[in-house]
């Protein structure tokens, strides 16, 4: 079975990309157990708690990240360099337990995947 990586690079509520990416992750989990999630660039904002998308009339899908464990999706990584550049404390709580890796470590880890989908 192929290893599939989902890379989130955009802010959560400015477009539908994050929600569509999460839907794709959940649908793909029915086909393979070898899934990795990567949060880079502005995608690191996807994992911050206490978001209020209702203020801009968007659906709050961030809580859905909490069900990833039920789908046996445990390989989740967040770029510590991206967090630092965006002023996010490296020890900040996240909505899932994501492994913090620097940019080079993320690149190295991603190179082990057969398919990379970016949202």
The count of structural domains within the chain is 1
**Dihedral pair phi/psi, residue 18, rounded to 5°:** -65, -45
Mean pLDDT score of the chain, rounded to an integer?
93
Q: Which residues contact 10 (CB under 8 A, 6 or more apart)?
A: 17, 18, 41, 42, 43, 119
Domain with 8, as residue range(s), is 4-118
pLDDT at 55: 77
CATH of the domain at 52: 3.40.1260.10
Structure tokens at 119: 């949202």
Between 39 and 14, residue with greater pLDDT: 39
| C-alpha to C-alpha distance for 78 and 93, rounded to whole angstroms | 12
Helix (H, G, I), strand (E, B) or coil at 41: helix
Residues 62-71, mean pLDDT to the nearest whole number: 90
Could you identify the residue written with the tokens 């708690």?
A: 49
Q: Which residues contact 15 (CB under 8 A, 6 or more apart)?
A: none
């Amino acid at each position: 079975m192929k290893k599939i990586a989902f890379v989130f690079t955009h802010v959560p509520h400015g477009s539908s990309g994050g929600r569509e990416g999460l839907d794709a992750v959940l649908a793909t989990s029915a086909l393979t157990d070898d899934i990795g999630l990567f949060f880079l660039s502005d995608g690191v904002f996807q994992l911050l708690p206490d978001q209020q998308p209702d203020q801009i009339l968007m659906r709050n899908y961030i809580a859905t990240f909490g069900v990833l464990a039920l789908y046996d999706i445990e390989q989740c990584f967040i770029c510590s360099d991206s967090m630092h550049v965006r002023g996010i404390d490296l020890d900040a709580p996240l909505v899932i337990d994501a492994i913090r890796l620097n940019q080079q470590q993320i690149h190295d880890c991603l190179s082990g995947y057969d398919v990379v989908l970016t949202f």
